[in-house]
Chains A and B, each alone.
Chain A
Amino acid sequence: MAIELFVNGKKEEITSSPDTPLIYVLRGELGLRGPKFGCGLEQCGSCSVLANNSARRSCVKPVSDFEGQDITTVEGLPALWAKAKKVRHVDLHPIQQAWIEEQVPQCGYCQNGMMITAANLLASNPNPSVSEIMTAFSTSGPSPHLCRCGTYDAIIKAVQRAAQLMA
């Protein structure tokens, strides 16, 4: 029987084999671009998604582990915010808005994972300190979130701005 996922609010019957890591299902079968392949080892964070509202790496664990779960990629963040605010549609989640206002991305490849972890952090801590932000991106997950371009300081500012926008 096909594995069922709820991806960005839509029910999906997955045809990939159950041992397929979630990222290949999201990218290959469902055509999403948000989760990025960085290492396949849960060592960099580029592939992060929200699974039942919790930040998870998608590059190792098989899709069968996520059976029945709500998966949100960055593409689904606006709808998540619209639902929370009980409005029909928003173009961008406040986190995305903050990322644009702070001009965070350089190459932009790792920023999917950064925004997902920002969403995860702000859901439980709506007004994080710089130290709490650093912890969330450095030591709270399976590995630090890595950025090669050196955007960490811009990310810290953007998370703080997002917290203001969401207040």
Chain B
Amino acid sequence: MTIQEEAGTISRRGLLRAGGALVVMSAAVPVALRTSVAEAAATGMPFPTPVLTDLSTWLTVHTSGNVTWRTGHVELGQGNRTALAQMVAEELDVAFEKVTLVMGNTNVTPDQGVTAASSTIARAGVQARLIAAEARATLLSMASKRLRAPVTELSVKNGVVHHGRRKVSYGQLVHGKALTAVTPIVINGQGTTVGATPKPFSEYTLVGRSIPRVDVVDKVSQKAAFVHDITVPHMLHARVIHPRGIGSTVVSVGQLPAGSNAQVVQLGNLVAVVAKQEWDAVKAAANLPVTWSDWNGLPSTEDWPAAMRATPAKVVTHASQGDFDSAFASAASTLTATYQTPFENHGMIGPSCAVADVRPDGSVTVWSATQYPQGLRNGIAQMLNVSTEQVEVLWVDGAGSYGRLCSNYDDAASEAVFLSRELGKPVRVQWSRADEHIWEPHGPGTLHDMAAGFDESGNVTAWKHDAFMAPNNDSTMLGPILVGVQGSSTRTPVGSWTGPDLYQFPNLLELAHQMPEFGAATSPYPFGLRTTFLRSPGQHQITFAQEAFADEIAAATGQDPLQFRLQHLTDARAIAVLTAAAQAGKWEARPSPKRDASTSNGTVTGQGISFVLRDGTYAAAVVKLEVTPATGKVLLTEVTVAQDQGQIINPRAIEHQISSCVLQTASRVLHEEVKFDTANVTTVDWVSYPLLRMDETPTINTILVPNPQIAPSGVGEPAVNVMPSAISSAIFDATGVRLRTMPFTQEVVKAAMG
């Protein structure tokens, strides 16, 4: 987002103030990046709350024919800025280059909910498509009058309406006039409806093309501003000294060494140092003596599975059919196993950072990489006890957050607003690497007790999955809690099951133990070991246990894992992706483990297959890998993913998302585990919490199964889910050893192989 691009949104505000009607536009007026609530307040004009049913909420057609499109969703690195613009340009019949998106500016962008759960295209994109169709119909109606020709005789190309040899551009049509919707836009629980009918997919010329991402050039040339790059006049740099234990409170705060250029700020348990120069703040944070109370309310890493089982929890039945207990009791053979996934980090490469400016009149501006600007705006209004209209949140690109800034909208912003209010100056809070590793709300640890019964022919007659899940929806923000203005949260976070069941097992029981956070019961704060959404939350863990256990049954009954799946599936799209992945991934049809897996270079090799349905998208993977028994090292050699996401908006962006899922999840499966002692997290950096390295990159093949007649579904998460079990099963295929506890580190694999 450049400063100039924001301009159109500001002129729109002026227009709304003047008339209120629909769209319109004159040339953009350059304004500073820092749009000012104070400025508006001074003129007695509150910021308009976007009216979702008003076309002008969404777009501005400029005299030049350029289109500014506003969305509440934000770019997280997945390419949605580009894909949304493609969908809008397609529906409006304007050139792709003519559409510029404004994302996540709470003054002007509509609240379309949080950018998470692979929802931008499936929800916000489909809304945009319908609203753009409505806008196009409105423009055509205007053109009909101008050209004195019926709408049915008009055609549009590149934003110019033609009737025979006569023509008028969108820019000419709206110049100096208000544009009104012909029929109202309705957005409710049933979805979005408009009067106009969007184009049939057979007429698409932009959707379905690999248009290069609009943000890549600026990111490569370093012209793009990340939130870490935001500076404002008179800004102070802050470092927060977080509690030693998760539930520790301040006992005493000492003095900075003589000669320090920093200042100490203490607001309850929020202890910070601020300075004009960032390095002075960094040094002061390292040198400030703070004594914290002892708090030891966590089980240690080794003890958490037992502690989880011993904790009372609400048990929710996710699915139940037939009679599992009697089917299991009467089965010819049975199998049971327990799977475990660790606590994990989102692992933003740039630690949390935000800038806040709280002015004396109570108005607030926050620059944040949050995944939900409107949510952060509401949260800040609440914690500072000001009206929502006094708060503006300006979203800025951040480091890939993968859910870290989705339910917890932004810890750093929540700390920065209190420091700025106290100091009367804009404050930039930058977390250290240790702050982020320790205090990010982690991905939850889970346990899965699996049980299956089958008949003499190997047909599954009973299936049970009993999951114990730490919460995946903690929404606390540290700032107000440490300051002490926000007491116990109204919502107790819980772990929940995500994902449908596709396999047709006659007697099935699926239970979720919704666990509270470890330590929450004894902490003075309304949280314990904070855990929240991490890329494909819940389903990542559930699918690992489901799919790996399916392979255990296939192995126990001597069946090929692919055939076993195909026999229990009826959904044609599921069968299609599995078949496509197997074919492209050169799946060897045979039971596991492999008879002779050894190679001439001292490794053993294996294959694994997995399938998932995530938020409407079908994905299947074939993983090929090698294991070095002497060291325990697992190296993925080739990963093939076939995916059906319905309509394809931008093929290359989807392929890159699949690669991203493959590599990030390989990292989680092979290396990642948050460890803790009874006081707090002990994995504090990239040495104690390592990530996958480039020399572990497999060949990645992606197959996009076309289904253009079906609405597009998400692509940011599905392929995450197929990796853990495919890796576990490929290791089993290679070694005959089944690993059920992630991560499969070198040490774990070596020990398991004896």
Could you list which residues of chain A lie within 8 angstroms of chain B, going by C-beta atoms? 16-17, 19-21, 24, 27-28, 32-34, 36-41, 43-44, 46, 73-75, 91-92, 96, 99-100, 103-112, 115, 131, 133-135, 137-139, 143-156
B220–A107 CB distance below 8 A: no
B695–A39 CB distance below 8 A: no
Q: Which residue of A lies closest to B661 (CB)?
A: A150
> What chain B residues lie within 8 Å of A152 (beta carbons)?
663, 692, 694, 697
Within 8 A of A (CB), among B199-227: 212-213, 215-217, 219-222, 224-226
B347–A39 CB distance below 8 A: no
In the complex, B279 has a CB within 8 A of chain A: yes
B695–A153 CB distance below 8 A: no
CB distance from A27 to the nearest CB of B (A): 8
> What chain A residues lie within 8 Å of B660 (beta carbons)?
106, 149-151
In the complex, which of the residues B278, B348, B433, B659 contacts A150, with contact meaning CB atoms closer than 8 Å? B659
CB distance from A32 to the nearest CB of B (A): 8
With A and B bound together, what is the CA distance between A31 and B3 in angstroms?
17
CB distance from B644 to the nearest CB of A (A): 21
B219–A108 CB distance below 8 A: yes
Within 8 A of A (CB), among B309-364: 347-351
CB distance from A157 to the nearest CB of B (A): 11
The 0/1 profile, CB within 8 Å of A marked 1, for residues 673-698 of chain B is 00000000000011100011111110
With A and B bound together, what is the CA distance between A92 and B279 in angstroms?
32
With A and B bound together, what is the CA distance between A44 and B347 in angstroms?
11
With A and B bound together, what is the CA distance between A67 and B165 in angstroms?
69
With A and B bound together, what is the CA distance between A140 and B551 in angstroms?
39
With A and B bound together, what is the CA distance between A105 and B216 in angstroms?
6
A148–B694 CB distance below 8 A: no
With A and B bound together, what is the CA distance between A100 and B223 in angstroms?
14
Contacts A39-B351, A131-B695 known; 6 new A-B pairs at CB < 8 A: A24-B282, A34-B222, A104-B220, A138-B695, A147-B349, A154-B656
* 18 contacting pairs across A/B (C-beta < 8 A): A17-B279, A28-B279, A33-B225, A33-B226, A34-B222, A40-B282, A103-B652, A105-B77, A107-B397, A107-B398, A109-B350, A112-B222, A137-B695, A138-B694, A139-B693, A148-B348, A148-B349, A154-B656
Give the A-B contact count at a CB cut-off of 8 A: 178
> What chain B residues lie within 8 Å of A108 (beta carbons)?
77, 215-216, 219-220, 224, 226, 397
Q: Which residue of A lies closest to B698 (CB)?
A: A153
With A and B bound together, what is the CA distance between A133 and B667 in angstroms?
19
A100–B216 CB distance below 8 A: yes
CB distance from B72 to the nearest CB of A (A): 19
CB distance from B218 to the nearest CB of A (A): 9
With A and B bound together, what is the CA distance between A43 and B659 in angstroms?
24
Within 8 A of A (CB), among B208-263: 212-213, 215-217, 219-222, 224-226, 228-229
User: A40-B432, A155-B694 in contact; A92/B221 too (CB < 8 A)?
Assistant: yes
CB distance from B258 to the nearest CB of A (A): 15
Q: Which residue of B lies closest to A34 (CB)?
A: B222
User: A38-B349, A92-B221, A109-B400 in contact; A148/B278 too (CB < 8 A)?
Assistant: no
> What chain B residues lie within 8 Å of A151 (beta carbons)?
656, 659-660, 663
CB distance from B135 to the nearest CB of A (A): 30
A33–B220 CB distance below 8 A: no
> What chain B residues lie within 8 Å of A115 (beta carbons)?
220
A36–B228 CB distance below 8 A: yes
Q: Which residue of A lies closest to B280 (CB)?
A: A17
B216–A103 CB distance below 8 A: yes
A148–B217 CB distance below 8 A: no
> What chain B residues lie within 8 Å of A138 (beta carbons)?
693-696
CB distance from B702 to the nearest CB of A (A): 11
CB distance from B403 to the nearest CB of A (A): 12
User: A105-B216, A156-B694 in contact; A41/B685 too (CB < 8 A)?
Assistant: yes
Could you list which residues of chain B lie within 8 angstroms of chain A, going by C-beta atoms? 76-79, 212-213, 215-217, 219-222, 224-226, 228-229, 277-279, 282, 347-351, 397-400, 402, 430, 432-433, 652, 656, 659-664, 667, 685-687, 691-697, 699-700
B349–A109 CB distance below 8 A: yes
With A and B bound together, what is the CA distance between A145 and B667 in angstroms?
14
In the complex, which of the residues A27, A41, A137 contacts B686, with contact meaning CB atoms closer than 8 Å? A41
With A and B bound together, what is the CA distance between A34 and B225 in angstroms?
10
> What chain B residues lie within 8 Å of A27 (beta carbons)?
229, 278
CB distance from B97 to the nearest CB of A (A): 16
With A and B bound together, what is the CA distance between A100 and B212 in angstroms?
8
B279–A134 CB distance below 8 A: no
CB distance from A145 to the nearest CB of B (A): 7
With A and B bound together, what is the CA distance between A44 and B430 in angstroms?
17
With A and B bound together, what is the CA distance between A137 and B733 in angstroms?
31
> What chain A residues lie within 8 Å of B279 (beta carbons)?
16-17, 19-21, 24, 28
Please indicate which of the listed interface residues B350, B687, B694 has the most CB atoms of chain A within 10 Å of its own CB: B694
With A and B bound together, what is the CA distance between A75 and B220 in angstroms?
9
Q: Which residue of B lies closest to A31 (CB)?
A: B231
B222–A75 CB distance below 8 A: yes
In the complex, which of the residues B76, B433, B667 contacts A38, with contact meaning CB atoms closer than 8 Å? B433
Q: Would you list the 10 A-B pairs with minimal beta carbon distance, nearest first?
A: A150-B663, A107-B77, A108-B219, A107-B400, A106-B77, A134-B695, A150-B660, A109-B399, A138-B695, A39-B433
B686–A154 CB distance below 8 A: no
B222–A107 CB distance below 8 A: no
> What chain B residues lie within 8 Å of A150 (beta carbons)?
659-664, 667
Q: Which residue of B lies closest to A98 (CB)?
A: B220
> What chain B residues lie within 8 Å of A40 (beta carbons)?
282, 432-433
With A and B bound together, what is the CA distance between A28 and B237 in angstroms?
10
With A and B bound together, what is the CA distance between A24 and B231 in angstroms?
13
With A and B bound together, what is the CA distance between A37 and B350 in angstroms?
6
A148–B664 CB distance below 8 A: yes
With A and B bound together, what is the CA distance between A75 and B218 in angstroms?
11
> What chain A residues lie within 8 Å of B213 (beta carbons)?
103, 105
> What chain B residues lie within 8 Å of A36 (beta carbons)?
226, 228, 349-350
> What chain B residues lie within 8 Å of A153 (beta carbons)?
659, 663, 697, 699-700
Q: Which residue of A lies closest to B431 (CB)?
A: A37
A74–B659 CB distance below 8 A: no
